[in-house]
Amino acid sequence: MGRPPLSIEVKLKDQNELTRLLSGGVQQVRVVLRALALLQLAKGVSAPRISSVVPLTPQAIREVGHRYRWLRIPMMSISVPN
């Protein structure tokens, strides 16, 4: 039995900011990947399922979700160790 999906509530304002970030201009790849992962977590998609589409490990995806939940910081400020 796997882990239950990480429950992340992303504020509508933050979702709009992430969508705007994804729709305009050149961005760092890691920022785009984290934004995609966070938006999918907000929809209730599990980390392993997200990792099948976004080239991040399930652990890295959960880490992005935890950092957002704990710190409520903008996506560009989230730094996952390499």
List % helix, strand, coil for the chain (3-state, nearest 5): 60, 0, 40
Give kind and range of the element (H or E) at residue 6.
none
Q: 5: which residues sit within 8 A by CB, 6+ positions away?
A: 41, 44, 45, 46, 47
- Residue 77: how many CB atoms within 10 A of its CB? 10
pLDDT tens for each residue of 15-55: 888 888 888 788 888 888 999 999 999 999 999 999 999 99
pTM equals 0.75
pLDDT band at 58 (very low <50, low <70, confident <90, very high): very high
pLDDT tens for each residue of 2-19: 667 677 888 888 888 888
